Structure 1
């Protein structure tokens, strides 16, 4: 996204299905339900949409099939982005580009997945992924995301001095946030003793360091800022969007895995938005695993290098703190809809209608997975249109 596109597009509708361990329906049905809800939220009909953008890892309905089911015979934009949470923010950035340049009038972005009942990440019984690097990880037993991210976690902990208690502070804070959120799958308070007593998943990651496997869909409707002001809901301006490269654990030029690719992406993102880290009121940070929250606080320049553990432990990421983070509970406690549910929460916060509202929230940072394994990342800066 160039400066030319700054604030020219806006989020006008959001929708979601219940978050569960077994939806009982197909990913196509989930997508259609979330899209219908998002269109209704904007005061539109699903057939008013002429652009369709989604992201997946081979586990969902395609954009073309959704367009057909919605009843749009001539969609102007049909885009399937390959990637899990890495591409969540990129879908909204692509939608902003499409409407600002006149390719489409109204674009819906969504993520639909049955990630618990159907397609479990790293699960067995499926063909090996079509990734060149898979051949390099299999001899070492690195099949599942927790195993891969355990290496990242250990690198960050070694570099920063972060401890298990620092990871626990992330999980406990987000569970406290989720206790206020009716959408959240996990709302029972989490204690340090319970965190430390939980089973290891892949050292240094315990059970509560890992996101929830979730069946759900979320959808976001984007149109031009001008048109948005004539619709039913307060527009949420898309001030900045950026997509960037990432790390590979198995090949590539990067050698310091304690710093994510977000550190490279962040300057472009802020420049696109015409804002800086000091302008961010709330941050919805991709949290497939607890260490990613600490790393992104630093990599997006929200706190100094290696100070994130102390920052979180001091309560600064709680609502009422210096920088509220993952106010819905995040992927760790609300549910894992591959990054796009963070955009839903950001929109609610900027409208002033969130379950656990941050008073005066005007600017939100939303991030995708910060580039590990997939080799790509993306992020957004959203702003209330006051």
Structure 2
């Protein structure tokens, strides 16, 4: 197994800001608000931060966050493989902290996507094998993968709807969530089709919002907060760029690799996990990642989520904040999956709190099922 500084780094705080609509804020304004809140919650000052990891939509060089916050870091990183970027930031920060390259790392993100455009913003692409078919980017690619999963394994639109309904159930317990209120299987099946077989209820939200976390070495963490969350494993894997045509099998993702490596580093297995935060840009994602991370066999994801299994009161709590489907999705969701995992393990989630949660997964998805990154996080009891 590849070396990883298991338990040597910890997340000491997590904060969110501006979930929903924040028309008077730029993306970096939002991110800075979350960052200031996270640093304060860790009992630190901005001047204590000597590593900054960010991936703002309009900050190509990745230097704007440090300047905006008045930080002059020793280490700066804006690795950006899509929505999984923030899981890779945690991996890089854990290694940097363990080797002494930095002492306190800030990971932040913000986007005003809803206020700025009100819709998903497609990036310019040159896809010679796809553009002729006038596909809608990115949803048509995910729709193609969903159709293949249905063909191969008998997955149904009802199974996809189970994912959306479970996410809404959690969102209804979360005061921060943007989309709240009743949602039924029938509502999903009758929803407007966007790219067959995916309806509007199978697609993530378009919101504003920001999130931030602070990481330190484990030996310092307990001096800062009562409940540090330790990084027990972290791995990423890239199997292709952003063209669905490059996937050898539309039903299998690199989460098979990232998950196996991260679990191997941690010493735990899927059956040990108490809370699971998955990047649910589309309902299909949740099903694919449940399979590829080892929570159920390949092809069984649809049947696995039946009967509210991943919703409130179910046997496997998944996306307990409401996920990208019902809580927040401002361009990229990855850091919000991490913040929710941290909050669950710190026991501060109020009505949606999973009792006794000690071990959690935060899994990120980048671009078109392209980059996958998995974090295994745990309380002090898991060290």
Q: Calculate the TM-score normalised by the size of structure 2.
A: 0.93
Q: Would you say the 8 A contact 1:99–1:105 is kept in 2?
A: yes
**Rounded Cα–Cα distance in structure 1 between residues aligned with 2:226 and 2:58:** 32
Q: Determine the structure 1 residue equivalent to 2:121.
A: 123
Q: SS of 1:360's equivalent?
A: coil
Contact 1:47 1:70 in 2 (8 A): no
> Separation in 1 of the partners of 2:246 and 2:279?
24
Structure 1 counterpart of 2:294: 301
**Which runs of 5 or more residues in structure 2 are unaligned?**
none
What is the Cα deviation at residue 94 of structure 1?
Answer: 1.3
**Alpha-carbon offset, residue 292 of structure 1:** 0.7
Return the alpha-carbon distance in structure 2 between the equivalents of residues 301 and 316 of structure 1.
16
Give, in whole Å, the separation in 2 of the partners of 1:48 and 1:315: 44
Q: Does 1:330 find its partner at 2:323?
A: yes
Deviation of the 1:248 alpha carbon? 4.7
Q: How does 1:194-233 map to 2 (within 5 A)?
A: 194-233=187-226
Question: Deviations along 1:188-235, whole A, 9 cap, x unmatched?
Answer: 120122212210111100011000011111001011011101003410
Matches within 5 A, 1:257-268: 257-268=250-261
Q: CA deviation at 1:89?
A: 1.0
Most deviating of 280-289 and 258-267 = 258-267
Are the structure 2 counterparts of residues 62 and 116 from structure 1 closer, same or farther at C-alpha, using a change threshold of 3 Å? farther
Shift in CA distance, 248/66, structure 1 to aligned 2, threshold 3 Å? closer
Distance in 2 of aligned mates of 1:106 and 1:258: 39
| Aligned 8 A contact 1:282 1:365 in 2 | yes
The Cα shift of 1:71 comes to 1.9
Instruction: State how far apart, in whole Å, the 1-side matches of 2:279 and 2:88 are.
Output: 13
Q: Any gaps of 5 or more consecutive residues in structure 1?
A: none
| Larger mean Cα displacement after TM superposition, 189-198 or 104-113 | 189-198
1:383/1:68 CA distance change after superposition, 3 Å: same
Q: For the residues of structure 2 that align with 1:149 and 1:59, how far apart are their CA atoms?
A: 25
The answer (yes or no) to whether the contact 2:82–2:371 under 8 Å persists in 1 is no
What residue in structure 2 maps to residue 182 of structure 1? 175
1:149-181 residue CA offsets vs partner (Å, 9 max, x unmatched): 111111112122111111111100110110010
| Contact 1:42/1:233 (<8 A) preserved | no
Residue by residue over 1:40-79, the C-alpha shift from the partner in whole angstroms, topping out at 9 and shown as x without a partner, is 11111122111000135x4358542211222223x11111
Q: What does the per-residue CA deviation read over 1:225-272, in whole Å, with 9 as the maximum and x for residues that have no partner?
A: 111010034100000100111345747864211111111222111111
For residues 93 and 254 of structure 1, what CA distance do their matches in structure 2 show?
25
Give the length in aligned residue pairs: 378
2:66 is matched with which residue? 67
Q: Give me the whole-angstrom Cα distance separating, in 1, the residues matched to 2:118 and 2:130.
A: 19
Question: What is the aligned-residue RMSD (CA, Å)?
Answer: 2.1
Are the structure 2 counterparts of residues 233 and 14 from structure 1 closer, same or farther at C-alpha, using a change threshold of 3 Å?
A: farther
Do the aligned residues in 1 keep the contact of 2:4 with 2:95 (CA within 8 Å)?
no
Tell me, yes or no, if the aligned pair for 1:364 and 1:383 is still in contact at 8 Å. Answer: yes
Alignment of 1:275-354 (within 5 A): 275-337=268-330, 338=332, 339-354=334-349
Q: Partners in 1 of 2:40 and 2:227 — Cα distance?
A: 14
Q: Distance in 2 between matches of 1:197 and 1:4?
A: 47
**Aligned-pair distance for 1:182?**
0.8
When structure 1 is superposed on structure 2, of 10-19 and 260-269 the one drifting more is: 260-269
CA distance in 2, matches of 1:248, 1:52: 26
2:276 is paired with a residue whose SS is strand
**CA separation in 2, counterparts of 1:143 and 1:251?**
12
Cα distance between partner residues in 1 of 2:248 and 2:363: 23
- Name which of structure 1's ranges 133-142 and 215-224 shifts more when overlaid on structure 2: 133-142
Which digits, 9 at most, give the CA deviation of each residue in 1:13-55, with x for residues without a partner?
Answer: 1111121234421111111101001011111112211100013
- Other structure's SS at 2:237 match: strand
Q: Distance in 2 between matches of 1:208 and 1:60?
A: 31
Aligned residue in 2 for 1:373 = 368
Contact 1:6 1:238 in 2 (8 A): yes
Cα distance in 1 for residues equivalent to 2:201 and 2:58 = 25
The verdict on how the C-alpha distance between 1:343 and 1:299 changes in structure 2, with shifts beyond 3 A counting, is: same
Answer yes or no: is the 8 Å Cα contact 2:120–2:206 preserved in 1. Answer: no
